[in-house]
Structure 1
Amino acid sequence: MATILQIETATQVCSAALSKDGKTIAVKELMASNIHAGSLTLFIEEVMGMVGLQFSDLDAVAVSKGPGSYTGLRIGVSTAKGLCFALDKPLIGVDTLQMMAAGFMQSRPEYEGAICSMIDARRMEVFTAVYNAKLDSIVDTSAKIIDEHSFAEELNSGVLMFIGDGAAKCKDVIRHENASFSGANFNSASNMSALAYNAYSHSKFEDVAYFEPFYLKDFVLTTPKKK
């Protein structure tokens, strides 16, 4: 038995959810720019209130660990670590791209092809990884600049479903009979329930003191051009 608080802030979606034994029992989320800092703790309190739980009732806290937005990941991970320190609960890190693939498979359990999760990284670059229908990794996580030759090997091998906010901008570039694109959003804390429960069941916990998000690329500070 495990009740887990789940946090997802890797993209523009700010999301908090509760799960019990791998099943989502409450979720609160909103897609909007620059809301994570002001909304995340409110969303957490709201989902706890939805099911009448106290923070002491939690068995663990899970957080989407990246890759994704530098600022969003820092807010989510800092909040999760703070809760784990205060409550003396274990911390679970969930791969963001795998979580997205899990969400797609929950919506399409009959699907038997491969899933390419994509997070927009500006211009024609994406953070991406490819999974099979069992959520095993086929292509490791990387930052990839997309062109007409991207994922040629995987596409020639079978059906490949592209998902995530990075997939839409690739639709006009990746033209292959085996390429499909989903416009649905899978960046939700509710989609990490089974993954978080599996990690909890196998005691796969992070070191709360030293855990850092998986940024994939270094943060680059840009200065606006003077007019």
Structure 2
Amino acid sequence: MTLILSIDTAVSVCSVSLHRKGQLLGLLELHQENVHAQKLMPVIKTLLDQAGLESKQLDAVAVSEGPGSYTGLRIGVSTAKGFAFAHDIPLISVGTLDALAIQVKPFLEGKVFIIPMIDARRMEVYCKVFDSRMNEMESIRPLIVDEGSFEEYLEKGIVYFVGDAVKKVSEVLQHPNARYLYLINSATSVGEIAFNKFEKREFSDLAYFEPNYLKEFKVVKSKKNPLML
């Protein structure tokens, strides 16, 4: 009875779930900014307690691998690695945009495309493109969205845009075939993908795995005080 703990801290939501054989047992989420470091471990403990389970019963731990918030990804991955190492269980990494995309499955009908996207400040997003069968049409990339973005897909059929960047994108990109779904990253879909990976034994190397930041992290100096970061 495969029991998987899944963690998603790629964006502002702190999300943790438990799945048994791919079926959701429980989910706890905090929709608050900057609470991952303080709240992630207590949320995991609470979820396990509510399910009447102990961490030693886990068969694997899954984590959203990015892209996303640098700090959020570091916290999530470090915590997942800690569980995997402590209990000698596999670590399963799941693409943040892949987990977003599968949330659209209930809406799929006919020829459609799915474009999950995460806000990367200003008019830039991190995005990926899938067809209706979840085949990857375009790999992850950062993109500055304008009126002509994704035109090749919008002219072919319905395009579902999903993620925390859809509000700002919808103000610029207007097309009759565009559908905007403000769905937030969740450990629920991370766990769904993780179970399929577990069955295929698609595990990440515990020693060498690092989050996919997509961009190099840069520390910006304070403009008010040049001596401060």
- Which TM bucket (shorter chain)? over 0.9
Alignment match, 2:101: 101
- In structure 2, the partner of 1:164 is 163
Structure 2 Cα separation of the partners of residues 104 and 60 of structure 1: 25
Q: Distance in 2 between matches of 1:90 and 1:8?
A: 17
Q: Quick one: distance in 1 between partners of 2:108 and 2:45? A: 31
Alignment of 1:37-52 (within 5 A): 37-52=37-52
Q: Secondary structure at the match of 1:104?
A: helix
Give matches, 1:53-202, under 5 Å.
Answer: 53-105=53-105, 107-108=106-107, 110=109, 113-185=112-184, 187-202=185-200
Distance in structure 1 (CA, Å) of the matches to 2:93 and 2:111: 27
Q: Give 1:183 deviation, angstroms.
A: 2.2
Q: Give 1:87's aligned amino acid.
A: H
Name structure 1 gaps, 5 residues minimum.
none
Alignment of 1:17-32 (within 5 A): 17-32=17-32
CA contact (8 A) 2:26 2:51 kept: yes
Q: Which amino acid aligns with 1:177?
A: P
Aligned residue for 1:157, secondary structure, equals coil
Contact 2:111 2:157 in 1 (8 A): no
SS of 2:168's equivalent in the other structure is: helix
**Cα contact 1:16–1:27 (8 A) shared by 2:** yes
**Aligned with residue 211 of structure 1, among 206, 209, 212:** 209
C-alpha contact (below 8 Å) 1:120/1:127 kept by paired residues = yes
Contact 2:5 2:191 (8 Å CA) reproduced: no
- Consecutive unaligned residues of structure 2, counting only runs of 5 or more, are none
TM-score by length of 2: 0.94
1:197, distance to aligned residue in structure 2 (A): 0.5
Once structures 1 and 2 are overlaid, which stretch shifts more, 27-36 or 4-13? 27-36
Give the deviation of 1:112 after TM superposition.
Answer: 5.3
Contact 1:102 1:192 in 2 (8 A): no
Aligned-pair identity (%): 44
* Residue 193 (structure 1) shift: 2.4
Pairwise CA distance, 1:103: 1.8
Residue 224 of structure 1, CA deviation: 2.6
CA deviation map 1:158-210 (0-9, x unaligned): 1101110111101011111111111232x010112221000000000000011
C-alpha separation between the residues in 2 aligned to 1:164 and 1:52? Answer: 32
Q: What root-mean-square deviation, in Å, do the aligned CA atoms of Structure 1 and Structure 2 show?
A: 1.4
